[in-house]
């Protein structure tokens, strides 16, 4: 059998691709509700793990338009889970196996004020009320790592106390996205609750050293420097296995509109080397932006820094501009067939707020395995 070929830019030639391992078809299907769904990164990954989203809930219309476009078999509802009058919404919820989602994290994030009295910290209560109403077999709550240390650990203790009172066995862990095939060093906290006595096991890392991690070159080197109209054909062959994965089932390239910078901005970016930052600039330019992440250029040979929501401080490893929405989506592991709707500003925010689908997929597979094992347990184990 002839293996497919990929062009390796670094070796200036084509090489054979090792055949991918066979993935067993998931016969049993489980259903889920995605709360604070955004554009649907968690849902996209979970669906590929055999857990289908029945309902997505968010209070941002742009994100739900993108969600609906990419999840045509799922329903969605525009609801603010921070409201107090949720009785009608609660009464119409479908019974599902899993509830997952990530409440807005600005109140928890290190980039915010980290005020324990921030009302956004209480949005998890909306998540909690849905779980209490449905009592799914498993729930997953995702957030920034700082949630675990917020207010001296008292906030996470309160959250875990609430869910434990419902009868859930809890397990939490901070996962690094680049350990699971995502070309981005993004750390997220996952709290999983199960009703079964079976232990839940988080997935083991698949890439723990820099040699096996997917880097920015692997993710982006087949995308051109200039803008492309939506649906444009690929202008060069895939140069990595990751690019082949991202291209699968996509009719072309979408969301690849570059940002036009001023001449001075482009000049300053050009002075920063691959993987460099403001420290590499001449003295007269070092203080032009008053943040410590200013003028940071991604390293072609490493995973990217955490994708933000369009703050314009991180730049392409080669081109003198910020990454496009599509390039940012690639670094988040959204495949090219996943199309973002709304203004470009909105698209950047949707990408930056999402859970990387490849990370969601491996967590979803662990939950799927847990559900199967719990279903096969003897009555005395339940």
Q: Which residues are catalytic?
A: 105
3-state secondary structure of 226: coil
C-beta separation of 283 from 349 below 8 A: no
Helix or strand run (H / E) with residue 41: helix 41-47
d(CA 258, CA 256): 6
Give the ranges where 229-380 is alpha helix by DSSP (H): 241-247, 263-270, 283-286, 325-332, 344-353, 357-376
Distance CA 139, CA 194 (A): 7
Nearest in space to 348 (alpha carbons), one of 235, 238, 231, 256:
256
Query: Do 350 and 334 form a contact (C-beta atoms < 8 A)?
Result: no
Handedness of CA 85, 88, 91, 95 (dihedral sign): negative
Closest CA to 282 of 290, 270, 291: 270
- List the one residue out of 1, 51, 367 whose CA is nearest residue 199: 367
Q: Is 155 helix (H, G, I), strand (E, B) or coil?
A: helix
First to last CA, the chain: 47
Asked if 354 and 184 count as a contact pair (C-beta separation under 8 A), the reply is no
Burial 251-268 (b: 16+ CB within 10 A, else e): eebbbbbbeebeeebeeb
Give backbone dihedrals phi and psi of 211, rounded to 5 degrees, phi first.
-70, -30
Work out the angle between the directed axes of helices 344-353 and 325-332 (0-180°, nearest 10). 10
Q: For residue 359, count other CB atoms closer than 10 A to its CB.
A: 28
Alpha-carbon Rg for the chain, nearest whole angstrom, is 21
């Amino acid at each position: 059998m002839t293996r497919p070929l990929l062009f390796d830019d670094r070796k200036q030639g084509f090489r054979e691709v090792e055949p991918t391992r066979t993935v067993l078809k998931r016969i049993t299907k489980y259903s889920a509700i995605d709360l604070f769904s955004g554009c649907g990164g968690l849902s996209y990954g979970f669906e590929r793990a055999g857990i289908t989203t029945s309902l997505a809930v968010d209070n941002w219309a742009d994100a739900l338009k993108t969600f609906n476009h990419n999840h045509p078999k799922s329903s969605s509802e525009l609801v603010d889970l921070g409201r107090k009058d949720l009785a009608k919404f609660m009464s119409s919820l479908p019974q599902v196996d899993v509830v997952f989602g990530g409440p807005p994290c600005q109140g928890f994030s290190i980039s915010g004020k980290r005020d324990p009295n921030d009302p956004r910290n209480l949005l998890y209560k909306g998540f909690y009320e849905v779980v209490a109403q449905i009592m799914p077999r498993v729930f997953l709550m995702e957030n920034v790592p700082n949630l675990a240390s917020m207010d001296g650990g008292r906030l996470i203790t309160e959250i875990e106390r609430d869910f434990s009172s419902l009868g859930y066995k809890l397990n939490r862990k901070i996962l690094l996205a680049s350990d699971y095939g995502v070309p981005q060093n993004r750390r997220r906290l996952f709290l999983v609750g199960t009703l079964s006595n079976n232990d839940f096991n988080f997935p083991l890392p698949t890439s723990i050293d820099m040699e096996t991690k997917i880097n920015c070159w692997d993710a982006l080197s087949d995308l051109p420097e200039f803008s492309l109209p939506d649906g444009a054909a690929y202008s060069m062959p895939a140069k990595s296995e990751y690019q082949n994965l991202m291209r699968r089932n996509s009719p072309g390239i979408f969301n690849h509109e570059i940002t036009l910078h001023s001449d001075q901005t482009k000049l300053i970016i050009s002075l920063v080397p691959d993987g460099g930052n403001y420290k590499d600039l001449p003295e007269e330019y070092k203080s032009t932006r008053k943040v410590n992440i200013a003028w940071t250029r991604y390293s072609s040979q490493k995973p990217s820094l955490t994708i933000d929501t369009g703050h314009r401080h991180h730049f392409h490893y080669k081109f003198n501009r910020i990454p496009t929405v599509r390039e940012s989506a690639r670094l988040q592991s959204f495949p090219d067939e996943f199309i973002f709707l709304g203004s470009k500003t909105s698209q950047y925010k949707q990408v930056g707020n999402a859970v990387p689908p490849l990370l969601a997929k491996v967590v979803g597979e662990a939950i799927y395995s847990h559900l199967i094992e719990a279903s096969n347990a003897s009555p005395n184990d339940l």
